[in-house]
Amino acid sequence: MGSITNLITTLGKNAKSAAKTLRSASTAVKNNALTNIVHQVDQNRKAILKANQKDLDHGKDNGLDAALLDRLMLDDVRLDGIIESLNQIIALPDPIGEITDLKYRPSGIQVGKMRVPLGVMAIIYESRPNVTIDAAALCIKSGNGAILRGGSEAIHSNLALYVCVKQGLVDAGLSEHCVQLIDTTDRTAVTELVKASDYIDAIIPRGGKGLVEAISQSATVPVIKHLHGICHTYIDKDADTDKAIKIAFNAKTRRYGVCNAMETLLVHASAADKVLPELIAEYTLKGVELRGCEHTMEFSKQVIAATAEDWDTEYLDAILSIRIVNSMSDAIDHIEQHGSGHTESIVTENYTSGRRFITEVDSASVMINASTGFADGFEYGLGAEIGISTDKFHVRGPVGLEGLTSQKYIVLGDGHIRQ
């Protein structure tokens, strides 16, 4: 325990010192670091993929399920995606130092707000090694120090990617301590990290509900989080049939082990005959297990009875719950009761219905005629995301550059004194 405590203390001190320098670094210097990381990732593909294969082999030997292995896997296409995310972040405007709302007061002073980094971020994540790069890049661009703690199942991949980050920082003249990776798989490191309030300003956990709940309950540092992603698609009575089938199929089957995958399909009773026969056939052909309400079961013997627990389950697997509802109000009530506040979508050609849905549904992302799979920072133009927040303070939805900042008041005077 003592050695782990000392490790976190050392990392915390280093991060706080580095963050002090990083918050005043110019946009050019920060972008230079990110450009260097792009080159490092591209040049070290073989080493990264070799390290990733070690993790995949170890995961298979230890019985990791298909969804987790998919999250863990890197290939050239996913490395290209990492590089594209970095390039997008480089191209984004730097929010740090932006002054807004500058107004004269009756006293003659000017009052405004300046955007500033949060300080030191701790990111705790599972499975996906690309988070190592995404988190590092977003923290660098937003002027935040970062301490990263990936899952033990991705340790070799994370270490290989971190080599790229560290070299990119050093080549840009920045401290390698701007981003630090905890290289031990000892779980005590997480226990100590979430209580390091002297050094850490906010924690972002990325992983399963169990991880997020455990961190939220034990942390003495503010946590930016979402517990799980029970996402819904509602096919309205005024939906275009072709759009509905295409959107609902994509929302579930694009990737199963992601938090923006649809877990429950809600269908208006008037649309069920138009969309369910083809959707059920397509899902079945794809190997998706279907669990439905009594009315849904009437459409196919492939649909088994859904339990009460199914409506509250994030499967992260090739399983889908389907419920037929009698009205949009029923659909919204279902989402209110069973949703996790992540992402919901309506398929409809009725403008009024679409407006009502996005107004009344209280989730971080609400969509009209689009797949829930779009709910991530890359697709929203944030370059990448460091997580998706279903909290309402201080940031909600995909957390990009601006989500890693705060604002402070600035006051400009010219010898003004208060009377």
| Element counts in the chain: helices (H) and strands (E) | 14, 16
Question: Which amino acid type is present at position 117?
Answer: P
259 shares a domain with 220: no
Q: Which domain holds residue 22?
A: 2-224+399-412
Residue 328 belongs to domain with CATH number: 3.40.309.10
- Closest by Cα among 208, 200, 71, 210 to 139: 200
**Is residue 112, in this structure, part of any structural domain at all?**
yes
The pLDDT tens digits for 393-411 are: 788 888 889 999 999 999 9
The pLDDT mean for the chain works out to 94
**Structure token pair of residue 385:** 């995301």
CB 179 within 8 A of CB 61: no
pLDDT value of residue 258: 87
49 shares a domain with 196: yes
**Is residue 381, in this structure, part of any structural domain at all?**
no
33 shares a domain with 172: yes
**Is residue 260, in this structure, part of any structural domain at all?**
yes
CB 31 within 8 A of CB 92: no
280 shares a domain with 147: no
Mean pLDDT of 143-152: 96
CB 205 within 8 A of CB 223: yes
141 shares a domain with 56: yes
209 shares a domain with 81: yes
pTM of the entire predicted model? 0.84
**Is residue 394, in this structure, part of any structural domain at all?**
no
Rounded Cα distance between 168 and 104, Å, is 43
Residues making up the chain, counted from first to last? 419
- Closest by Cα among 37, 17, 10 to 136: 37
- DSSP, res 223: B
**Is residue 380, in this structure, part of any structural domain at all?**
no
214 shares a domain with 257: no
102 shares a domain with 195: yes
- DSSP, res 307: P
188 shares a domain with 122: yes
The pLDDT tens digits for 232-263 are: 999 999 999 999 999 999 999 999 988 999 99
316 shares a domain with 297: yes
Does residue 391 carry a pLDDT above 90? Answer: no
Rounded Cα distance between 96 and 98, Å, is 6
**Is residue 393, in this structure, part of any structural domain at all?**
no
The pLDDT tens digits for 298-356 are: 999 999 999 999 999 999 899 999 999 999 999 999 999 999 999 999 999 999 999 99
- Structural domains in the chain (count): 2
**Is residue 186, in this structure, part of any structural domain at all?**
yes
- pLDDT category at 388 given cuts 50, 70, 90 is confident
**Is residue 19, in this structure, part of any structural domain at all?**
yes
- Buried b or exposed e, range 348-360, using 16+ CB within 10 angstroms: beeeebbebbbee
Question: Which amino acid type is present at position 19?
Answer: A
Rounded Cα distance between 162 and 207, Å, is 19
237 shares a domain with 219: no
